[in-house]
């Protein structure tokens, strides 16, 4: 059955990025409790809605450039399957509904949701044209998702985890820029102006720095005294090999298979990477929930 153009334009296959809101729930030891789980599910649904808004706005704004891209020209707006007026109207309505529903999770969550939407709209109209700030703004969007998941259930999160989230998102954003340069060697700047300021060599240098920083930050988080005290175990360090393999596998796909243009698609389609992420998540749950520490208090 053919998927309607509007649904495809919302890009549900990319919503895996919003799973970041579940991190705080899992690490707070409330994963199997109904009330916080339902609040996190609502937060996830709302961020999926916000993601759809951003995708529609981007597609309307970049329709002409997308038509010159070998892959993006097939998107509903660029191909003409979905009119720009319809896409704009749906984006406005969906954004308003999601913002209104965000109040159900409290004023702090609503502020974060508004900040996330505002940041992405600012990216669509300005930040995507500024070198380095373009990838940093994408990374901050992931951090806002992560923080929103914690705020939704009222728990505190580790600063180290925020650093890890930012660095991992930055790694994925830089890999995506590299993929665009390699895929469009002669017309990259026609698709995205900031690509004129990048080069594969520069991006490889940035990726190397961010990769090392990300792995180091994650290792520090798993072995930090606060982490060991909170979970009453030092076994989170056992998950470091999963992180190393996952990053190395992604680098392999970027450099040898010319992937990386869509992190969500790469995660879903590459079985070794998908299995690694699943095993990492399962290991986290087993280690955290078999440790003797008490759940983090909700609220506040």
What are the tens digits of pLDDT across the range 153-189?
A: 999 888 999 999 999 999 999 999 998 888 766 555 5
Question: How confident is the model at residue 269, as a pLDDT?
Answer: 87
3-state secondary structure of 77: helix
Q: Where do the domains of the chain lie?
A: 5-290
DSSP notation for 119-166: HHHHHHHTGGGSTTHHHHHHHHHHHHHHHHHHHHHT----HHHHHHHH
**What average pLDDT does range 266-293 have in this prediction?**
90
Return the residue matching tokens 């003797």: 292
How far is residue 195's CA from residue 186's CA, in Å, rounded to a whole number? Answer: 11
**pLDDT score recorded for residue 291:** 76
CATH topology of domain 5-290: Tetracycline Repressor; domain 2 (1.10.357)
Q: Measured on CA atoms in the order 55, 120, 62, 100, is the torsion positive or negative? A: positive
DSSP H or E segment with residue 111: helix 107-125
pLDDT at 190: 60
Q: Each residue of 13-26: pLDDT tens digit?
A: 889 889 999 999 99
Percent of the residues in the chain that have a pLDDT greater than 90, as a whole number: 63
Per-residue pLDDT reduced to its tens digit, 188-223: 556 667 888 888 899 999 999 999 999 999 999 999
Nearest to 247 by CA among 182, 192, 190, 169: 169
pTM: 0.89
């Amino acid at each position: 059955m053919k998927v309607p153009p509007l649904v495809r334009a919302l890009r549900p296959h990319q919503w895996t990025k919003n799973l970041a809101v579940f991190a705080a729930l899992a690490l707070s030891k409330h994963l199997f409790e109904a009330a916080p789980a339902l609040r996190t599910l609502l937060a996830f649904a709302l961020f999926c809605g916000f993601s759809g808004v951003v995708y529609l706005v981007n597609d309307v704004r970049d329709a002409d450039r997308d038509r010159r891209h070998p892959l993006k020209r097939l998107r509903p707006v660029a191909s003409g399957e979905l009119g720009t007026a319809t896409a704009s109207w749906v984006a406005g309505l969906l954004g308003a509904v999601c913002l209104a529903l965000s109040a159900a999770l409290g004023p702090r969550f609503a502020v974060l949701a508004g900040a996330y939407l505002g940041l992405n709209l600012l990216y669509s109209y300005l930040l995507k044209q500024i070198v380095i700030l373009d990838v940093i703004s994408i990374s901050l969007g992931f951090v806002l998702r992560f923080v929103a998941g914690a705020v939704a259930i009222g728990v505190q999160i580790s600063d180290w985890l925020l650093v890890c989230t930012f660095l991992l998102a930055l790694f994925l954003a830089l890999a995506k820029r590299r993929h665009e340069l390699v895929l469009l060697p002669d017309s990259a700047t026609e698709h995205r102006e900031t690509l004129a300021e990048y080069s594969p060599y520069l991006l490889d240098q940035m990726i190397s720095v961010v990769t090392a920083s990300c792995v180091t930050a994650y290792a520090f988080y798993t072995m930090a005294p606060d982490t060991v005290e909170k979970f009453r175990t030092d076994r989170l360090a056992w998950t470091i090999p999963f992180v190393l393999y996952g990053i190395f596998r992604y680098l392999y796909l970027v450099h040898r298979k010319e992937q990386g243009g869509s992190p969500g698609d790469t995660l879903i389609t590459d079985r070794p990477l998908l299995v690694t992420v699943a095993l990492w998540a399962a290991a986290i749950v087993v280690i955290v929930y078999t440790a003797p520490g008490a759940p983090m208090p909700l609220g506040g």
